[in-house]
Amino acid sequence: MDSGLMVTNEFNIVDLLNLGVAIAIILAGTLSVFYIFFGGISFILSGGQEDKIKQAVHTIRYAIIGLIVTIFSVTIIKILGLIFGFDLLSLITWDRITELMNGVINKIATGGSSSSMPGGGTLR
């Protein structure tokens, strides 16, 4: 009997961890840039009202802090990867991310019968 948890049978756990880290970093950076843009538009449209200006400035400030934290997290992950011998940031290429995501989706769609999967490792 196939269950939903058996989907990862042919994936290497490191590949899945790398995919999660890559997606989280891309999502955090994208959201930070979006909120900087949103705060800038709010600042422009504030019309001189003090409370709206404060809210827009806070939005921009926290978005920049989030972007800095994201950049520092990438740096820390890279340093830890060098120390422990892992290449945790190898997936932060669009081609590699889409390849793994397509592999996971194909594995789910076929119910685990696909034989060519990225990573090549097995979890048993």
Distance CA 39, CA 56 (A): 5
Domain region containing 95? 13-107
In a domain, 120, yes or no: no
Q: Within a domain: residue 116? A: no
Name the token pair of 96: 């590699």
In-domain check, residue 1: no
Over the stretch 31-83, which tens digit does the pLDDT of each residue have? Answer: 999 999 999 999 999 988 999 999 999 999 999 999 999 889 888 888 887 88
Nearest one of 103, 105, 75 to 89, comparing CA atoms: 75
Q: What pLDDT is stored for residue 77 in this prediction?
A: 81
pLDDT of residue 102: 81
Residue 25 lies in a domain: yes
- Percent of the chain exceeding pLDDT 70 equals 73
Q: pLDDT confidence of 8, banded at 50, 70, 90?
A: very low
Number of domains in the chain: 1
74-102: per-residue pLDDT in tens?
888 888 878 887 776 666 677 777 777 78
